Structure 1
Amino acid sequence: MTRVGGRNAIFAWVVGLISAAIVAVLVVLALPMLPTSLAWLGDQVKGPVSAPEARDEPAEGGAPAECRDLYSQPLWASLVWAPDSVLTPSRDLPTTTATGLVEALAPTVRMTCTWRSAEGEISTTLAEVATDAGAIAATALPTAGFACAASDGRTRCTRTDGELVETIEAGGGLWLSTSQTSWQPADYPGRVADAVWAD
């Protein structure tokens, strides 16, 4: 059999091995995105199952009506894209160590949004309370280790105990309570409060 001039078997083998190595590296680099890509493909085929549609801003017209309305687009993205992130909406009472205050105020829960991820857990409750709830919180919570301050007609009380950070804010008949365990996105309580008490 006559060989075609200009071909080198050794060179062809080396180029083939290098090409195979490059393909293998690309496959390894792409593997972490496989679950996300499959989830995205599933959402495109049958629509989102549990996550509400992303919006640029919280819903207009008063206090938020669902968990998605509590978050601006950047904060929503940081929560959704956290490793193993899952949002569970409910009407559960606030997760807080200030159980006595919860019993005294008897908040009417509009929503509780609980996030769990590999980074930790965040539980945020929006509820309706009496208009003097902020003054009551400012009187009662310092004895439980909270530091309270008034601003813009609202009272915000915070407490840190190791990996647990609690924030309770009340004003205008609304109560916003957040409990963060290990997971603390930048200024989470303030950004959620901006959505609740938006002008």
Structure 2
Amino acid sequence: MAGIGGRSMWVAIPVGVLCLAAVGALGWLALPMMPAALGWVGSAVSGQLAAPAPSADPEPEDGVPTSCRGLYNDALWATLSLAPGSTLTPDASAPVTTATTLATALAPQVRFTCTWHGADGVSISTTVADVGTDAGAIAAASLPGEGFGCTDQGARVRCEKTTGDVLETLELGGGLWLSSTLTAWQPAQYSERVASLVWK
């Protein structure tokens, strides 16, 4: 029975040269990153690595969102931002509401207002503001006379009115005001989803 031959030098030498060339090429490609890599290793050894950068909307101390992005979960944000012709205008404008008497009486101190505009004139305006801790009781007593239906939501009072293609909600409790006016654009459970991030 014939023995199995050993390695062939005619094959081993060219393959070895090709491997060395590949390693050399990879090393040459990695050279531009060497200073950064050495700096990172040095920082890691000395324990001086920088802390990660904060997120765009840091967790607020009182749990209330501090910007429009924090007011929406990812699914609702995608629904709004990807709608045809969608644009967002964040500012500190006064709440859009027909409950002007209540707004005058409570004088909400606006934290921020998020106004979305879409194609064909549809829009949504939502305001988060600070009000007195008795605002919910005042709203429940006064808004039904203006056509709103009000319900107790535990930590807050929620009042709602629909006029044509405009849905308006006001939610007040715990010193907070959340109002939304949706004009011909009503994503599923918009008001409930937004309120769940204001009152956690």
TM-score norm. by structure 1 comes to: 0.69
Structure 1 match to 2:95: 94
The 1:142/1:149 distance shift into structure 2, 3 A limit, reads: same
- For the residue of structure 1 that corresponds to 2:101, the secondary structure is helix
CA distance in 2, matches of 1:54, 1:72: 14
Contact 2:109 2:130 in 1 (8 A): yes
Structure 2 match to 1:171: 173
Structure 1, residues 1-37: CA drift from partner, whole Å, max 9, x if none? Answer: xxxxxxxxxxxxxxxxxxxxxxxxxxxxxxxxxxxxx
Of residues 133, 136, 139, the one that matches 1:131 is 133
Looking at CA atoms only, which structure, 1 or 2, has the larger radius of gyration? 2
The 1:60/1:110 distance shift into structure 2, 3 A limit, reads: closer
Structure 2 match to 1:161: 163
Q: CA deviation at 1:139?
A: 0.6
State the aligned residue count. Answer: 144
CA distance in 2, matches of 1:127, 1:60: 14
What are the residue-to-residue correspondences of 1:1-199 with 2, within 5 Å?
A: 59=59, 61=61, 62-118=63-119, 120-198=122-200
Q: CA deviation at 1:59?
A: 3.9
CA distance in 2, matches of 1:84, 1:186: 19
- For the residue of structure 2 that corresponds to 1:167, the secondary structure is strand
Q: CA deviation at 1:133?
A: 0.2
Q: CA deviation at 1:54?
A: 8.5
Structure 1, residues 119-174: CA drift from partner, whole Å, max 9, x if none? Answer: 61000000000000000000110010000011222100000001000000001000
- For the residue of structure 1 that corresponds to 2:66, the secondary structure is coil
Q: Which amino acid aligns with 1:184?
A: Q
Q: CA deviation at 1:99?
A: 0.6
Contact 1:115 1:121 in 2 (8 A): yes
Structure 1, residues 52-111: CA drift from partner, whole Å, max 9, x if none? Answer: x888xx945411101100000000000000001000011111001001100000000000
> CA RMSD of the aligned region, Å?
1.6
Q: Give 5+ residue unaligned stretches, structure 2.
A: 1-54
Q: Which amino acid aligns with 2:98?
A: T
CA distance in 1, matches of 2:197, 2:99: 24
Q: Give 5+ residue unaligned stretches, structure 1.
A: 1-52
CA distance in 1, matches of 2:182, 2:75: 18
CA distance in 1, matches of 2:136, 2:154: 12
The percentage of counterpart residues that share the same residue type is 56
Q: Which amino acid aligns with 1:72?
A: N
CA distance in 2, matches of 1:148, 1:54: 35
